[in-house]
Structures are given as structure tokens and as C-alpha cells.
Amino acid sequence: MVEPGLIRAAQSGDRDALITLLREIETHVYRTAYYILNNEQDAMDAAQEALIRIYTKIGSYEEKAQFKTWIQRIVTNICIDKFRRSKPTVSIDEHEMVFREKQNVEDEVLSAYAVQDIRNAIDKLPEHHRAVVVLRYLQDFSYNEIADSLDLPLNTVKSYLFRARQQLQTLLHDYQKGGVRG
């Protein structure tokens, strides 16, 4: 998504190239932050911090890594570190309690989950599971690219992703049933 020539120019001290590069990636950076943090303002803050970090650290990027996984690593680290304490997650056993309170979307078409429901369900996942899901679906990353971005073994990535799907599916399924009953 970013041309290698632009990256090299930015690394060699061409400030305009570096700014152009930041402009090209800002949406990707923001999108990841938005879905991991589930909050627009936090996402803006985290994405800006990530862009500043990329600006200062561009010299340390090495071409043996993919640039897109390098920037996603930076933004996910910021999201996970910075906002760790502000977002308590719920273990899979507690999900029912969470969704029982949500009775305001009864008129949603049952065959499709509302976007907000999915976001809320993602928000209930433990942070690394959440990051795996976001990279898989919002960045279209492969298992290997997710593993590189999050510095996790390949098998761990798969097991996080599969478990996350299981949890999301259960959360949303139960929610729908709750909607029917409610």
C-alpha cells in the first residue's frame, strides 16, 4: 500500500516524503485504533500518537519486515498499552449478563447483526483477541501478517482468532435470542 521508494526517501531524511507517507497510512492507523478502542476520541488520540511515533522512528524500520505490519504493530501496541486499564473485558462466561441489558434494538432485522452490536461484542474480547480480529477483518491480514504485527506465534494467532469468532458468535447469537424474547 505504500511504495518502497517513498519509504526509503522518508528514511533518508526527506521530510516531505515522510509527511506524504503519514498521510497515506493515517486511515489504516485510525481504523485499527477505532475498532480496538471502540471509541472515536480515543481512536483519534491513539492514531495521532502512532503517527508521531512512526515519524520519529521511521529510521529504525528495516525492510526485512513488511511496512504495513510494522505500522500496525506500532498502533496496536499503543492501543493495548495506553488504554489497557480503561477497558475492562469480560470473560466468555459472563457474556449473557452483558447483553441482557440491551433491549433497544428489537426491531433490528434478525438475519443481520447490527454494526453497533458487533462493535460492542468485539469490545468484550480480551485485548489480543480483539487485535487479531481487527487485523484479520479491517486490514485483511493473513495469519502470518497478524503474527508479525502482534509478535505472536502463528498457532497463537490462529487459536486467538478461532476463539474470538466463537465468542463473538455466541455473544451475538444469544443477543438475537434475547431480542426475540424481549
29, burial (CB in 10 Å: exposed 0-12, middle 13-18, buried 19+): buried
User: Angle formed by the axes of helices 67-82 and 40-57, to 10°?
Assistant: 130
Check binding of 115 to other proteins (CB under 8 A).
Answer: yes
- The DSSP 8-state label assigned to residue 64 in this structure reads T
Interface residue with other proteins, options 2, 49, 87, 123 (CB under 8 A): 49
Interface residue with other proteins, options 6, 26, 87, 105 (CB under 8 A): 26
Rg over alpha carbons for the chain, rounded to the nearest Å, is: 18
Check binding of 144 to other proteins (CB under 8 A).
Answer: no
Contact 36, 130 (CB under 8 A): yes
In sequence order, which residues have a C-beta less than 8 Å from that of residue 88 and are 6 or more positions away? none
| Closest among 86, 93, 106 to 171, alpha carbons compared | 93
> Reduced to 3 states, what is the DSSP secondary structure of residue 124?
coil
Interface residue with other proteins, options 1, 15, 103, 154 (CB under 8 A): 15
Shortest distance, CB of residue 91 to other proteins, whole angstroms?
19
Alpha carbon of residue 83 to chain centroid: 13
Shortest distance, CB of residue 87 to other proteins, whole angstroms?
15
Check binding of 116 to other proteins (CB under 8 A).
Answer: no
Interface residue with other proteins, options 7, 29, 75, 150 (CB under 8 A): 29
Check binding of 6 to other proteins (CB under 8 A).
Answer: no
Tell me which residues touch other proteins (CB under 8 A): 11-15, 18-19, 22-23, 26-27, 29-31, 34-35, 40, 43-45, 47-49, 51-53, 55-60, 78, 81-82, 112-113, 115, 118-119, 133, 136-138, 143, 158, 161-162, 165-166, 168-169, 172-173
